[in-house]
A and B are shown apart, each in its own frame.
Chain A
Amino acid sequence: DGGITQSPKYLFRKEGQNVTLSCEQNLNHDAMYWYRQDPGQGLRLIYYSQIVNDFQKGDIAEGYSVSREKKESFPLTVTSAQKNPTAFYLCASSIVYQETQYFGPGTRLLVL
């Protein structure tokens, strides 16, 4: 089955710790995206990548980092600089940039 997978489903972070969220797609999509979802606020764009080895900041990139070494993978690292990381994180992809986006099942990050 083609699709987008995110792991883990739940992730716990200790104070001062960096954590990495995984996003993998086997749809052969060029573009990938990371969003953060908070209750009552919709989704906000963290980072996006139009092609391998290239990515751009979205609206709320501070405290996050990404890499795009492979077409199918776009991991997101939540660094210790992100002071309020508790949220639901969604990864998406599209055939090419500006086309319809398809979403993964999400990872819920909680701070201990």
Chain B
Amino acid sequence: AQSVTQLDSHVSVSEGTPVLLRCNYSSSYSPSLFWYVQHPNKGLQLLLKYTSAATLVKGINGFEAEFKKSETSFHLTKPSAHMSDAAEYFCVVRLIMNYGGSQGNLIFGKGTKLSVKP
């Protein structure tokens, strides 16, 4: 079975300090992995995606994530947090084999709320 676990429900950082949002996945096959961001009462915006090319993926707004197969991780990082980064972040894996008839569908983590203190 494929699944995704976000290890922290809430992360708080100070403005200008690094951000680390942790994500582990479970998949029997090479997964496609995504990070989305959601600001309050808004839709989800794609930050970045991994699809078996380079293991270090750069996204928008200075975020990047590294795919580590040995650790089954896809942690999201940013060197320096901005106040505008305060939002909820979702790690997502895409099913790539038939699984209950939902091939190709997304499995979402439960989200990590990022707070940024001035």
Contact = CB atoms under 8 A, between A and B. Distances in A.
Interface in B11-47: 34, 36, 41-46
A84 interface: no
Contacts of A104: 43
Given A42-B108, A45-B106, A56 B46 contact: no
B62 interface: no
Given A56-B101, A59-B102, A100-B49, A43 B108 contact: yes
Contact of A43 (B41, B49, B90, B101): B90
B110 interface: yes
State the main secondary structure of chain B at its contact with A: loop
Contacts of A103: 36, 43-45
A94 to B, nearest CB: 9
Interface in B55-114: 90, 94, 101-106, 108-111
A30 B105 CA distance: 15
Given A92-B44, A100-B49, 17 more contacts: A40-B9, A40-B111, A42-B108, A44-B108, A45-B102, A56-B101, A59-B102, A88-B41, A90-B44, A100-B34, A102-B46, A103-B36, A103-B43, A104-B43, A105-B43, A106-B41, A106-B43
Interface of A: 4, 6, 40-45, 48, 56, 58-59, 88, 90, 92, 97-98, 100-106, 108
Interface of B: 9, 34, 36, 41-46, 49, 90, 94, 101-106, 108-111
24 contacts: A6-B43, A40-B9, A41-B110, A42-B111, A43-B44, A43-B90, A43-B106, A43-B108, A44-B108, A45-B102, A45-B106, A56-B101, A59-B102, A90-B43, A90-B44, A92-B44, A97-B104, A100-B46, A101-B46, A102-B46, A103-B43, A105-B43, A106-B41, A106-B42
